[in-house]
Amino acid sequence: MLYIVLIPLLLACTIPFISKFKHKLHTGIPVLLIPSAIFLYFIRFVGTGFEPVRQSYEWIPSLGINFNFYLDGLSLLFVLLISGIGALVVLYSIYYLGRDERLGHFYVYLLMFMSAMLGVVLSDNIFVLYTFWELTSISSFLLIGYWHFKEKSRYGALKSMLITIFGGLSMFGGFILLSVMTGTSSIQIMIQNSEVIMNSPYMPLALGFILLGAFTKSAQFPFHIWLPDAMEAPTPVSAYLHSATMVKAGLFLVARFSPIFSGYEGFFIIVSIAGIVTLCWGSYMAVHQTDLKAILAFSTISQLGMIMAMLGFGTEAAIFAAVFHILCHATFKGSLFMVAGIVDHETGTRDIRKLGGLMTFMPMSAALALFGTFSMAGIPLPFLNGFYSKELFFKSTLKLPQGAHPVTNFLVEAIPYLAVFGSIFTFVYSLYFLFGTFGGKKQVDKLPKHPHEAPVGMLIAPFVLVLGVILIGLFPNVFNGTFIAHAAEAVAGTTIVKEITFWHGFESTAFQMSLVVVALGAILVSTRRKWSKVYSFIPGRGSINHIYDAIIAKLDNWSTKMTTFYMTGSLRLYMAIILSTIFLVTLGFMLVTDGLTIDYSNLAPVTVTEIAVALVIVAAAIGTIFAKKNLGAILIAGVVGYGVSLLFVIYRAPDLALTQLVVETVSVALFLLCFYHLPNLDNTKDPAGTRLTNGIISIGFGTLMTLIGISAHSSDWFGTISDYFLETSHSLGGGDNVVNVILVDMRGLDTLFEIAVLGIAALAIYSIIKLKMNKGAK
């Protein structure tokens, strides 16, 4: 399975070469083979006797990070969606994207996403899962910003990335907590040890972090705001990432972890509220949109909310319905996105106010949209899969688990009504989408292009999806037994046997709810113009988007202010800041960890000679500061160097002393050479304040170094490794001067590089002197 996951990524490397020939061969055609092959590979797992498959490949075993792949029913459902819808989307994109677009980029991003998404749903290792998870965010960012010359695309791309990566990081925090609690990085082992997690005091924190990741990714209220802006992406991307697959990653995550958390009442409360609020808000807002894709975006938000709510309910019926709806939603919403893309492509606009009456021009698209929208609306017809899942949803809202917490009991009462409310608006926006585009008066004169039916190739992909809608609608139990049940089982942990039936009789409450939805929905559709004023009160002018924009603007502002505060262009200031930071952090750390030790026991005796030399060095070093002339400063600095070489002699380091003497002499000569060319020392002094600060910084830093030196000498944490060199210098290095043997033999490679550094410095010096910067240079 490792290869299957990585194949799209590996083959993406060949795309830049293939796309060179895009005028002869549309890049999408070879790309189409990849998801098709993956789909065929996984379709063979579908069947009544499916058993989970495990495969492991070591990656970083020492950290417990391995490619542990685990294919169970839930993963199977997702990989089939990813590869199946992926294939259809690529097919559709061949007709949607012209050959003058940057096809290479598009397909590389798309394949990158495919790999990442397959990785997310197949990984059993949380850290690998997280890696792939962020990769989906990045590829989504790239795809939304595909038309990067559009301001809105860039805005949408950034927004989606900021929100989903924020959630991703928080999820990562949750993962780390979980792995610390259980001592493993495998999700399956965590599920087996769920009691350890439930008993841990950090459990609510881990749950909250993980849910934040899931809610941002799956565009749950109030994080849904990125999804409508993500619609700036090319339509195949919206159909693929932002309705069928990526936005469901959050649902996948909740489903994956629900065996661990489902016993916890907080899980029910948070997830159900988030889901049901998102359902209502998304469907309510969808009716207010004028852009076809924006309607679909809010509709996706509301449908995701509905699935999220069902996962929160946690009953067997609800989980089954959730899994079933993931499949149904992918089919009908995918086809609707593609139809919206066709309308955009053939008329030049997606503004529903300009569209209308397209039925006569585009009968095929209209028919496809009809099935898609009716299924989405949940109209009770036996060949629409959306009705079945809607019915299962209603049923699950009626049988909610009772809990101890008063909020739970309130939710149990309220959720059925909220479900009906959300579904009514679902019905309204579905029909609004259909009739606004294809029904009503023709307004051809308002369209940028004269509308006509799309090419057949473009209709194939939505047609296949609509066929899926109908087939699932007609034979739900064929799909049920072979893989829906397996997927539900993977989430619920127990075997779920459910028959999906169309007719439950008039007494069935769920059916009555459906009837209420249809009736009230129909009334609201026909009177939409009269009540649409309500949108000026709710949401009115304030919205979550404003909050987002304000936060981004503030952050921008603050960081600019911060940066200009210290990035003044003055190197001296940078130097001062860096040194003070080193000083404060190191000293602080030394005091906090009690690192300051002074031990008088093991010291060399003090002699007069050494003291005298040291005093000379000190005097010279201080003298460099007060020297008034170039020449004086250089010579005084030379005194320091010679003093140090004297110390080397005293401390039995003959090689050092010799080298230092030579180097010091050459250095002083060099200084003197340059001295003629440098301007004389400027004797105007800095203001007293600056001098005081500089003085404090330097004295502080010097003191710090002294303290470190004394502490290092006084503490004996590690034994010396020098004995090795002394012992082996003769036998291994064949030399008696140990320092030389270390340099040229034991650490010979270091010395080689050192020579290289000197060579480069010499070259640089030569070229700096010779280089003629401009004609005026001397």
Partner 1 sequence: MEFIISILAGILFATAIYNLLQKQLLRIIIGTLLLSHGAHLFILTMGELKRGNPPILTEGVSNYTDPLPQALILTSIVISFGITSLLLVLAYRTATENETDNMEQLRGNDNE
Residue number, 594 or 723, with CB nearest to partner 1:
723
Per the listing, tokens 């005293």 go with: 650
Residue 32, amino acid: L
Q: Is 641 in the site for partner 1 (CB under 8 A)?
A: yes
The minimum distance between CB 753 and partner 1, in angstroms, equals 10
Q: Is 633 in the site for partner 1 (CB under 8 A)?
A: yes
The minimum distance between CB 559 and partner 1, in angstroms, equals 17
Q: Residues 742 to 771: which contact partner 1 by CB under 8 A?
A: 742-743, 747, 750-751, 754, 757-758, 761-762, 764-765, 768-769, 771
**Cα separation, 433 vs 351, whole angstroms:** 11
**Cα separation, 185 vs 177, whole angstroms:** 11
Which residues face 54 on adjacent strands?
70
The minimum distance between CB 593 and partner 1, in angstroms, equals 19
Residue number, 18 or 576, with CB nearest to partner 1:
576
Backbone angles phi, psi at 683, to 5 degrees: -90, 0
Question: For partner 1, which stretch binds (CB under 8 A), given 293-301, 372-380, 515-523, 643-651?
Answer: 643-651
Q: Is 634 in the site for partner 1 (CB under 8 A)?
A: yes
Question: For partner 1, which stretch binds (CB under 8 A), given 89-97, 342-350, 367-375, 637-645?
Answer: 637-645
Backbone angles phi, psi at 645, to 5 degrees: -70, -30
Residue number, 4 or 742, with CB nearest to partner 1:
742
Q: Residue 694 to residues 86, 517, 686: CA-CA distances in angstroms? A: 64, 77, 10
**Cα separation, 670 vs 666, whole angstroms:** 6
Residue number, 528 or 747, with CB nearest to partner 1:
747
Q: Residues 684 to 713: which contact partner 1 by CB under 8 A?
A: 686, 694-695, 697-699, 701-706, 709-710, 712-713
Q: Residues 575 to 594: which contact partner 1 by CB under 8 A?
A: 575-576, 579
Q: Is 131 in the site for partner 1 (CB under 8 A)?
A: no
Strand intervals (E) in 579-698: none
Residue number, 584 or 757, with CB nearest to partner 1:
757
* H helix runs in 453-541, sequence order: 456-474, 476-479, 485-492, 509-526, 528-531
Residue number, 592 or 769, with CB nearest to partner 1:
769
The minimum distance between CB 342 and partner 1, in angstroms, equals 47
Asked if 420 contacts 517 with a C-beta cutoff of 8 angstroms, the reply is yes
b/e burial code for range 405-440 (CB count within 10 A of at least 16 → b): eeebeebbeebbebbbbbbbbbbbbbbbbbbbbbee
The minimum distance between CB 647 and partner 1, in angstroms, equals 7
Q: Is 569 in the site for partner 1 (CB under 8 A)?
A: yes
DSSP letter for 606, please: P
Q: Is 608 in the site for partner 1 (CB under 8 A)?
A: no
Select from 450, 246, 238, 413 the least CA-distant residue to 341.
238
The minimum distance between CB 451 and partner 1, in angstroms, equals 50
The minimum distance between CB 144 and partner 1, in angstroms, equals 31
Per the listing, tokens 């459990």 go with: 203
Q: Residues 717 to 746: which contact partner 1 by CB under 8 A?
A: 720-722, 725-726, 729-730, 736-739, 742-743
**Cα separation, 170 vs 176, whole angstroms:** 10
Q: Residues 485 to 514: which contact partner 1 by CB under 8 A?
A: none
Q: Is 63 in the site for partner 1 (CB under 8 A)?
A: no
Residue number, 25 or 573, with CB nearest to partner 1:
573
Q: Is 622 in the site for partner 1 (CB under 8 A)?
A: yes
The minimum distance between CB 555 and partner 1, in angstroms, equals 22
Residue number, 399 or 572, with CB nearest to partner 1:
572
Q: Residues 300 to 339: which contact partner 1 by CB under 8 A?
A: none
* H helix runs in 505-570, sequence order: 509-526, 528-531, 544-566
Number of residues that bind partner 1 (CB under 8 A): 97
445: helix, coil or strand? Answer: helix
Q: Is 654 in the site for partner 1 (CB under 8 A)?
A: yes
**Cα separation, 264 vs 253, whole angstroms:** 17
Question: For partner 1, which stretch binds (CB under 8 A), given 162-170, 420-428, 455-463, 571-579?
Answer: 571-579
The minimum distance between CB 569 and partner 1, in angstroms, equals 4
Q: Is 606 in the site for partner 1 (CB under 8 A)?
A: yes
Select from 16, 183, 30, 73 the least CA-distant residue to 487.
73
Burial bucket for residue 644 (CB in 10 Å: 0-12, 13-18, 19+): middle
User: In the Cβ-directed half-sphere of 419, how many Cα atoms lie within 13 Å?
Assistant: 28
